[in-house]
Structure 1
Amino acid sequence: MSLTPDSTVPPIPAALNFRTVDVRGRHLSLAGLRAAVPRAQSGTVADAEDKVLDIISAVRTRGFAGLRDLALSFDGVEQTHPRVPAEALRAALADLDPAVRAALEESIRRARRFADAQRPANIDVELGEGAVVSQNWVPVARVGLYVPGGLAVYPSSVIMNVVPALAAGVESIALASPPQKNFGGLPHPTILAAACLLGIEEVYAIGGAQAIATFAYGIPADSSGPDSLPGIEPVDVVTGPGNIFVATAKRLVKGVVGIDSEAGTTEIAILADSTASAALVAADLISQAEHDPKAASVLFTDSETLAADVRGELERQAAATKHSGRVLEALSGPQSGVVLVEDLEQGIAACDAYAAEHLEIMTADAARVASRIRSAGAIFVGDYSPVSLGDYCAGSNHVLPTSGTAAFSSGLNVTTFLRAIQVVNYSRSALEQVSGHIVSLSGAEDLPAHGEAVTARFTAR
């Protein structure tokens, strides 16, 4: 990603070092399992936080000048204003490969069907005659959607961000993606084409943590130079995946704006038994490892034979894949490896402790096993539901919580962009029926004015 200078990337390992963690025979608690499973080194988050705080400060205090310096430093791009011209969006769509356009349109169609079905219904509950409490779902006014760049191009993330926001009824949508030196300082043209295909007109060439800060705090208009620069309005909700810097920025601005989840560097976990195909398990682990050298690929299994076979397949397939260096580095990192479990029961417990972004179930009776999982961003059942399907064309959303946060947060969906507003509508007689209870409870809490506000309505004037 744009916030990681090339000079900080560690040397690529010459061979696969896919480590093994053996928890068999160990009666570990949830906390013990969480400590045992492979994770990225703990210092990474703290290091990222210091850098991100500096970036947020630069955006807040220096506005467009800060964005210009960050774009030059991280992306090698000189900018005046990060807004992508409308003609660049239209040109990108006109030049899009027809096969890619067809694929994007099918992905949009499936995502829309699933998103439209997610919208919750408003409810009215009559608790007595004249006593009605309602819950109405209302979209936020404005959202900022982030689409990563760097090592890969993600038009699919444009779909995953935009479609649920549109389904929720959001009227103001801004999208940001890193500027690309090879494309005149604009985001990748396939990103622009996908945005145009979805009708998104407000697109910015801003990358990483600075995009999150821009959405959270906005940028005031600047008329100090020869050209007047229009401002960027802050948003209510920021969503989208990214690297550790993007995830950290979202955590730091949470409370100023809403966020979907801390969707950082990708991870895949696979729960497999002796019935699984080692070749397919390895292929799926590699498919996510090619995203980033820090991507996590973890296999949970009770079969030593499968573990050995998968390791052999990883060596063979990783050597043959296009991004073999990146894949080998990800598979050899502390965030990846095999976890040997006693049996399926311990395997399920270990998977819940890991709380994977993507969890594949490749066991006998996979659907039954999947139904017992309680912590995962998304679950992929059986040999024919790989994570790659979810990345592009399943209809599900691929913006999912990482780093164990799936234990308490959900992936991006329509409700991310909605607020539940409760409406209370009581008549005089309905209030009178419960007035005594209100007086009693307000007295018990030593807040007598609460009760007096009710009795005042029935005092003779």
Structure 2
Amino acid sequence: MRTLRAKDFGLTREVEYGTPEQNEAVSQIVEGVRTKGDAALLDYTEKFDRVKLEAAQLRVTEAEIQEAYNHVEADFLVAIREAAANIRSFHEKQMRQSWVDVQPDGTMLGQILRPLKRVGVYVPGGKAAYPSSVLMNVIPAQVAGVPEIVMVTPPATGGKAGIDPYILVAAAEAGVQEMYRVGGAQAIAALAYGTATIAPVDKITGPGNIFVALAKRAVFGAVDIDSIAGPSEIVVLADDTADAAYVAADLLSQAEHDEMASAILVTTSAKLGEAVAAEVEKQLATLPKADIARASIEANGAVLLADTLNEAIEAVNRMAPEHLEVMVNEPMSILGRIENAGAIFVGPYSSEPVGDYFAGPNHILPTNGTARFSSPVNVDDFVKKSSLIYYSKDALLANGEKIMTLARHEGLEAHARAIEIRLEREGN
């Protein structure tokens, strides 16, 4: 791992806008599905997934879902059910209520919260098939009260129409009742604009490859989206009390995602930095995805040395990492100074996979420095808010002149007259 000075380092990644060719391909796919519906959806599934389907085969049947249970281990079921319970419990605490504030003059102001009606969840297939992400997308929407949650996921390639049974079981355990075997940019377009088989949704969430990301960007506005997620990131903030083997293992836990993942140690201890670099090499020797993890470490991994803990914290806040582990002598004492991080894992036993799978907080987190201004997926992502305004006659008479003053200052006479006509009639 390369060693750099923390004060000179700022993790900046170019936002993934795709190549002109990729953008043009996505544009054609989205427009094709928007105008031709199921016919285009089936054509693209045959072209890209090499699976020929009829429209009637797009929806996953209840029998397929039940059959999937025969292909997963009992311990997986136990783990996924307990993880789902933890995730649900955490997100239930995020729920907010509608409210109304009544003033003595009869004015009533408030905010009405309503769940979105229909949400689409994209679940990748192939090597990026993550049942845990199904739970993290679906459960907050359920807690918010979304009545219709639909999942799309690509069929197996090479002529097989099946879907990873672990994905189907995770979705069933989370309560999804509507699932379709379609993926890629064409699935995003179907969710956004609808086809004869798939009704359009209000919001699309879930990760995917570059074509899925570009399709989400393309349909934003017709529907809402969660984010355009970048490669995974982890930063470990540590001093000389940290265990080098723990730190190295946690860095590799993100490096194995893909070659573009970022794994960085920020430390005040040169000795720890050397020990972690040696441990990374040692652990890579037996890691199944060593090629991916090594490419990630070589391209985007680093040990950042800071002269003081304050300097180290400043570096962390500049990076605004997706995942931040804090392994210092008194971690709770510095939490208030951590301003930018998607999720903060405190202490040596709070390894990042604890949050990925089981603890309860959402693992869909802001990447690429966007933790400066955005948050993990949460219940608020699946509700909409309406303002409630009820003005009494007394309130309008008392404040009407001020409202007209502001309207006329902006040159909007019709606005002012809408108030004036009421004052003239009701003021007598």
Is the structural similarity TM-score above 0.5?
Answer: yes
Partner of 1:197: 173
- Of 183, 206, 209, which aligns to 1:240? 206
Question: How far apart in 2 are the matches of 1:74 and 1:276?
Answer: 47
Partner of 2:399: 434
> Please, which runs of 5 or more residues in structure 1 have no aligned partner?
1-17, 27-32, 222-230
TM-score, scaled relative to structure 1: 0.85
Further displaced range: 107-116 or 441-450: 441-450
After superposition, the Cα gap between the structure-2 partners of 1:212 and 1:345, relative to the gap in structure 1 and judged at 3 Å, is farther
Cα offset for 1:257? 1.3
After superposition, the Cα gap between the structure-2 partners of 1:183 and 1:68, relative to the gap in structure 1 and judged at 3 Å, is closer
Code of the aligned partner of 1:396: P
Alpha-carbon deviations, 1:233-258, whole Å to 9, x = none?
11111111234443333233222211
SS in 1 for 2:100: strand
Alpha-carbon deviations, 1:258-283, whole Å to 9, x = none?
12222233221211222211111110
Matched, 1:352 2:334: no
SS in 2 for 1:412: coil
Matched, 1:169 2:152: no
- Of 215, 220, 232, which aligns to 1:266? 232
Code of the aligned partner of 1:397: N
Code of the aligned partner of 1:166: Q
Cα offset for 1:46? 4.0
Contact kept? 1:261, 1:400, Cα under 8 Å: no
Question: How far apart in 2 are the matches of 1:152 and 1:180?
Answer: 12
- Of 308, 313, 325, which aligns to 1:343? 308
Question: How far apart in 1 are the matches of 2:96 and 2:139?
Answer: 16
Matched, 1:59 2:24: no
TM-score, scaled relative to structure 2: 0.92
After superposition, the Cα gap between the structure-2 partners of 1:23 and 1:195, relative to the gap in structure 1 and judged at 3 Å, is closer
Cα offset for 1:109? 0.6
Matched, 1:136 2:87: no
Question: How far apart in 1 are the matches of 2:15 and 2:96?
Answer: 38
After superposition, the Cα gap between the structure-2 partners of 1:210 and 1:19, relative to the gap in structure 1 and judged at 3 Å, is farther
Matched, 1:212 2:188: yes
Partner of 1:70: 44
Cα offset for 1:61? 4.0
Contact kept? 1:265, 1:292, Cα under 8 Å: yes
Further displaced range: 418-427 or 346-355: 346-355
SS in 1 for 2:37: helix
After superposition, the Cα gap between the structure-2 partners of 1:242 and 1:302, relative to the gap in structure 1 and judged at 3 Å, is farther
Contact kept? 1:288, 1:297, Cα under 8 Å: yes
Code of the aligned partner of 2:114: V
Q: Structure 1 vs Structure 2: percent identity of aligned residues?
A: 42
Alignment coverage as a number of residue pairs: 423
After superposition, the Cα gap between the structure-2 partners of 1:340 and 1:66, relative to the gap in structure 1 and judged at 3 Å, is farther
Q: Tell me how large the CA RMSD over aligned residues is.
A: 2.3
Question: How far apart in 1 are the matches of 2:89 and 2:158?
Answer: 36
Further displaced range: 185-194 or 42-51: 42-51
Partner of 1:29: none
Alpha-carbon deviations, 1:262-320, whole Å to 9, x = none?
22332212112222111111101111122223222122223222121111111110111
Contact kept? 1:243, 1:265, Cα under 8 Å: no
Alpha-carbon deviations, 1:116-152, whole Å to 9, x = none?
1101122212344201101111111110011222324
Question: How far apart in 1 are the matches of 2:183 and 2:2?
Answer: 34
Within a 5 Å distance, the mapping from 1:289-304 to structure 2 comes to 289-304=255-270
Partner of 2:370: 405
After superposition, the Cα gap between the structure-2 partners of 1:46 and 1:104, relative to the gap in structure 1 and judged at 3 Å, is same
Cα offset for 1:362? 1.3
Question: How far apart in 1 are the matches of 2:424 and 2:336?
Answer: 57
Code of the aligned partner of 1:300: V
After superposition, the Cα gap between the structure-2 partners of 1:78 and 1:414, relative to the gap in structure 1 and judged at 3 Å, is same
Code of the aligned partner of 1:331: I
Partner of 1:7: none
Cα offset for 1:415? 0.4
Question: How far apart in 2 are the matches of 1:61 and 1:388?
Answer: 42
Code of the aligned partner of 2:178: E
Alpha-carbon deviations, 1:376-400, whole Å to 9, x = none?
2111111111110111111111111
